[in-house]
Amino acid sequence: MNATLLESHITGYPRRQGKVRDVYDLGDRLVIVASDRISAFDWILPTGIPAKGRLLTAMTEFWLRFLKIPNHLISSRIEEMPAPFQAEADELHGRTMLVRKTKVVPIECVVRGYLAGSGWKEYRASGTVCGQSLPGGIRECEQLPEPIFTPATKAESGHDENISFERMAAEVGSDLAEDLRRRSIEAYRRAAEYARERGIILADTKFEWGRLPSGEVLLIDEVLTPDSSRYWPADSYVVGKNPPSFDKQFVRDWLETCGWDKNSPPPPLPAEVVTRTQEKYLEAFERLTGARAVTEESP
């Protein structure tokens, strides 16, 4: 069985819903449930992608193990969650993480090794990204001489806004800003190097960091998943052309041509688009981790 989980319903804890994850507050810890929701063009689609939440959870775990930097994960074993979560083990296993609750640093720590998306748009308009000047003549999706740190605000709704490093420093303090810039670039470099060996380009990614009451800084949230990163298959990469994204390509292509105006709730996805998208998430997972994914409902 391979049912789609659009939403979890655990009672007894305050729940906050993000675009993709349901976050339950246990006081000093959180339980994060990765649903199968998928978003595109800033809308959550009415159709989920079966097992997507499991694949993204497994990828986050994989990268946390790979990076070995202090992070929020306590356990992803359903047996170690509070009883109300265990009671829904069939639905929740493999997509649920028990983590230390932190005070989130309110900045998206984006690192770009290639120039695409909003970075490319700003560069084309002004020769800068987040206010930093870059050498002239860089083409769309071209690799940068060095990875750059391009912070953004965490907008409560709508689009995140790219900001300068100086503005980040003014908001969180320059010591923390410099520390997070260094840690984020280092984590990007190591992950990009590993992915490249497996035929995948990690064009850019977004990290989130949080602080414990003791002041200790932890890597939080999802880590290096296709939802927080831009992955391209290396074999179809050509400088000057925007490569197909690893995961949402079919969804975006279909939404562009189905007649939807992007200003009203989006239509359901056809089964074909769902299947092909699920295959892409599976492929990304298997190529990056070298493991076969377990996507069934029962352990």
Ligand X SMILES: Nc1ncnc2c1ncn2[C@@H]1O[C@H](COP(=O)(O)OP(=O)(O)O)[C@@H](O)[C@H]1O
User: CA-based angle 209:142:59, to the nearest 5?
Assistant: 40
Q: Does 30 bind ligand X (CB under 6 A)?
A: yes
Near ligand X by CB under 6 A, which window of 94-102, 120-128, 170-178, 231-239? Answer: 94-102
Which residue of 51, 67, 99, 273 would you call a contact of ligand X, by CB under 6 A? 99
Q: Does 19 bind ligand X (CB under 6 A)?
A: yes
Residue whose Cβ sits closest to ligand X: 18
Near ligand X by CB under 6 A, which window of 4-12, 18-26, 59-67, 77-85? Answer: 18-26
Q: Does 36 bind ligand X (CB under 6 A)?
A: no
Q: Does 18 bind ligand X (CB under 6 A)?
A: yes
The interface mask with ligand X, positions 202-221, x = CB under 6 A, is ------x-x---------xx
Q: Does 106 bind ligand X (CB under 6 A)?
A: no
**In this complex, which beta carbon is closest to ligand X, that of residue 243 or of residue 266?**
266
**In this complex, which beta carbon is closest to ligand X, that of residue 64 or of residue 273?**
64
Site for ligand X in 63-82 (CB under 6 A): 72
What is each CA distance from 199 to 85, 99, 284, in whole angstroms?
37, 31, 10
**In this complex, which beta carbon is closest to ligand X, that of residue 104 or of residue 239?**
104
CB of residue 14 to ligand X, shortest distance in Å: 13
Q: For binding to ligand X (CB under 6 A), which residues are involved?
A: 18-21, 23, 30, 72, 99-102, 104, 208, 210, 220-221
